[in-house]
Structure 1
Amino acid sequence: MEPALIGLLVIIALALAFDFINGFHDTANAIATSVATKVLTPFQAIAMAAVLNVVGALTGTAVAKTIASDIVPQQYATLELVGAALLSAVFWNLYTWWKGLPSSSSHALIFSLVGAGVAAGGWGIIIPKGVQKTVTGLFTSPLLGFVVPILLMALLTWLVLRWMRPRTVTRTFRWAQIASAAFMAFSHGGNDAQKTMGIMTFALSAYAGTQYDHVPLWVVLSAATAMGLGTSVGGWRIIKTMGFKVVDLKPVDGFVAETSAALIIHTASTLGIPVSTTHTISASIMGVGTTKGFRKVKWQVAGRIVTAWFITIPTCIALGWAIHKVILALGV
């Protein structure tokens, strides 16, 4: 077997490993609020999220195309570059999972790709428009994630909540939250799994020496399956942070947070914008918390989450750059 093919197979395996890790790292995005409010048991929540992550991953490839061709041009694709980006993203995902920090797998991968690209050809080969699209999603999705739940809660309160007894609200929104958690899992798969599809397509371009204008079906299916399997494992450290340490949630709060985040993520996926599901749902939980009063949100924990968001970008650029240089130095 030729060395280039072996290298491609290693890259594909590494990409699927990243997707698997992404699945258990970001399980909390879809199910933390449902587990916290006891609407679903952990097993029920993870099973539902695993299935709907796969379904969501099969619904489109707009985000995958952004990753495959709008960050680093495909003509600059090499297996060393893709491998460095993936190793950097995997390392950061595992580190933040170990620390229980809900950082962004999406931005870990994208900015690791930027760092590796800079190491390979300098800043000149990075496509500003694609990075700008990512940065726009980075800042607007958590902002919307914070504001939309406040508006939605105000609307619900005005329309129905003020007329209902607390016990009726809890009973009604227990069922509604199951639907919102399902929507969140679906939208998570529709955005996050596509990043791995894009990086795998980028690797295929490096191996074949040609540019791809589509994502092969086997790439879509394998990435979706890997994410579903990862989700089935669950990421309990981050679930505890997201569901229990930021704000005390009730079913109506979980419904509002999940519905708001899922709508934002689904819209971004349709537009081909790679956003962070972690950023969006975290901000939505904080937004819901503020409707109870600012003191109800544990801002120290929220601050740790926000810090992880901003550390991810420079750290992963540096990691991607350094790992690429090491790979070339070792002649791997």
Structure 2
Amino acid sequence: MDADLAALVAVVAIALAFDFTNGFHDAANAIATSVSTRALTPRAALALAATMNLVGAALGTGVAKTVGSGIIATPSGSHGLTVVFAALIGAICWNLLTWRLGLPTSSSHALIGGLVGAALAATSGVFWNGVLDKVVLPMLLSPVIGVVLGYLVHTAILWIFRHAKPSRTTRGFRIAQSVSAAAMGLGHGLQDAQKTMGVIVLALVTAGHQDNFDVPWWVIGAVAAALSLGTYAGGWRIIRTLGRRIVHLDPPRGFAAESAAASVLYATAFVWHAPISTTHTITSAVLGAGATRRLSAVRWGVARNIGVAWVLTMPGAALAAAGSYLLIHWALGT
């Protein structure tokens, strides 16, 4: 095996490792609300989310092409593979740090921050218009939309079932949450799997094994499997934060939050091909649904800590990736 092929294999392997960390880091996105409301047992919820991740990963490649071709321009050959490798290391480091702290931050923004940081360290090109249009604007808008939709959906539920017995309503929405949890798992696979696909395709193009950004079938299968396995492993620290520490959820609020968040994920993936954060979307929808009780029902101190982590994600991952690139560059003496 020549050096360039070995480097490509290493990049694909580390990309799949990132995808696995994405799965267990973001398992909370799909299951925290249904577990916290006791609509599903933890293992049943994880199995459902992992299965829907597999299905979602196979439903489109528009986001993958945005990540692969719309964020950075890497040099060809081994230097370009070093940039991609360093970007993935930076994203993995940020994922592990925030998982250890129990903070539901965005694996998507960690990956994109890693790409930008590694490219800047390598003095490669960054498509700033693409970062602004496809990353920054959706990053700002999706939480706002999530809060509003979560609030409106649960307000509608309160009005529609205003004369129903609370116990019957609770039982009904506990069952309905199986559907909304599946929808979130599908959206997670649809959005997050494609980001890793895009990075692997970027590595293939960089290494000269492909001249376009179409996603091969084997990349779809490998990424879907890694994400599903990571999801089934479960990131319990973050699940506890999202499901219990932000706001107390009952089944109707859980259903409202999951339905609102899944709607945003589908629209951005199929219509705009924008790589938005599933974490930001579901967390903001939980805040919106919880706020229908009263604003004080939301633990705003926890929400503030999460918001700070959101703001730091891209620059934090970028710094880790830049440091990784410089270290690899120095070690190889290139």
**Taking structure 1 as the reference length, what is the TM-score of the superposition?**
0.96
- Long gaps (5+) in structure 1: none
Q: Which residue of 1 aligns with 2:2?
A: 2
**Cα pair 1:68 1:74 within 8 Å, conserved:** no
**Cα pair 1:75 1:210 within 8 Å, conserved:** no
Tell me the distance in 2 between the aligned counterparts of 1:167 and 1:240. Answer: 25
Instruction: Give 1:76 shift.
Output: 5.5
Q: Which residue identity is paired with 1:201?
A: V
Q: Which residue of 1 aligns with 2:230?
A: 230
1:115 aligns with 2:117: yes
Relative to structure 1, is the Cα distance of residues 326 and 74 closer, same or farther in structure 2, using a 3 angstrom cutoff? Answer: closer
Q: Which residue of 1 aligns with 2:199?
A: 199
Tell me the distance in 1 between the aligned counterparts of 2:93 and 2:5. Answer: 24
Tell me the distance in 1 between the aligned counterparts of 2:211 and 2:242. Answer: 40
1:136-159 superposed Cα distances (whole Å, 9 cap, x missing partner): 11111111111111111222222x
Match of 2:95 among 93, 96, 100: 93
Q: Which residue of 2 aligns with 1:19?
A: 19
Relative to structure 1, is the Cα distance of residues 263 and 87 closer, same or farther in structure 2, using a 3 angstrom cutoff? Answer: same
Instruction: Give 1:74 shift.
Output: 5.4
**Cα pair 1:75 1:211 within 8 Å, conserved:** no
Tell me the distance in 2 between the aligned counterparts of 1:185 and 1:3. Answer: 38
Tell me the distance in 1 between the aligned counterparts of 2:120 and 2:217. Answer: 30
1:309 aligns with 2:299: no
Q: Which residue of 2 aligns with 1:51?
A: 51
1:182-221 alignment, distance < 5 Å: 182-208=182-208, 211-221=211-221
- Long gaps (5+) in structure 2: none
**Cα pair 1:8 1:207 within 8 Å, conserved:** yes
1:160-171 alignment, distance < 5 Å: 160-171=160-171
**Cα pair 2:202 2:213 within 8 Å, conserved:** no
**Cα pair 1:75 1:209 within 8 Å, conserved:** no
Tell me the distance in 2 between the aligned counterparts of 1:256 and 1:312. Answer: 27
Q: Which residue of 2 aligns with 1:277?
A: 278
Tell me the distance in 1 between the aligned counterparts of 2:168 and 2:313. Answer: 42
Instruction: Give 1:60 shift.
Output: 0.3
Tell me the distance in 1 between the aligned counterparts of 2:213 and 2:107. Answer: 24
Tell me the distance in 1 between the aligned counterparts of 2:210 and 2:289. Answer: 48
Tell me the distance in 2 between the aligned counterparts of 1:178 and 1:215. Answer: 31
Match of 1:104 among 91, 103, 106: 106
**Cα pair 2:37 2:254 within 8 Å, conserved:** yes
Tell me the distance in 2 between the aligned counterparts of 1:154 and 1:99. Answer: 33
Cα root mean square deviation, aligned: 1.3
Q: Which residue identity is paired with 1:326?
A: L
**Cα pair 2:74 2:83 within 8 Å, conserved:** no
- Partner SS for 2:162: helix
Q: Which residue identity is paired with 2:296?
A: R
Q: Which residue of 2 aligns with 1:139?
A: 140
Tell me the distance in 1 between the aligned counterparts of 2:12 and 2:74. Answer: 17
Tell me the distance in 1 between the aligned counterparts of 2:197 and 2:224. Answer: 9
Q: Which residue of 2 aligns with 1:286?
A: 287
Instruction: Give 1:129 shift.
Output: 2.4
**Cα pair 1:74 1:211 within 8 Å, conserved:** no
1:170-189 alignment, distance < 5 Å: 170-189=170-189
Tell me the distance in 2 between the aligned counterparts of 1:313 and 1:213. Answer: 24
Match of 1:84 among 76, 83, 86: 86
Q: Which residue identity is paired with 1:30?
A: A
Q: Which residue identity is paired with 1:15?
A: A
1:265-300 superposed Cα distances (whole Å, 9 cap, x missing partner): 111111210000001101111111110101111111
**Taking structure 2 as the reference length, what is the TM-score of the superposition?**
0.96
Instruction: Give 1:119 shift.
Output: 1.4
1:38-68 superposed Cα distances (whole Å, 9 cap, x missing partner): 0100010000000001100110000000011
Q: Which residue of 1 aligns with 2:263?
A: 263
**Cα pair 1:39 1:178 within 8 Å, conserved:** yes
Deviates more, 1:248-257 or 1:201-210: 201-210
- Partner SS for 1:40: coil
**Cα pair 2:20 2:226 within 8 Å, conserved:** yes
How many matched pairs? 329
Instruction: Give 1:73 shift.
Output: 2.5
1:326 aligns with 2:316: no
1:235-274 superposed Cα distances (whole Å, 9 cap, x missing partner): 1000000001111110000000000000001111112100
Instruction: Give 1:121 shift.
Output: 2.0
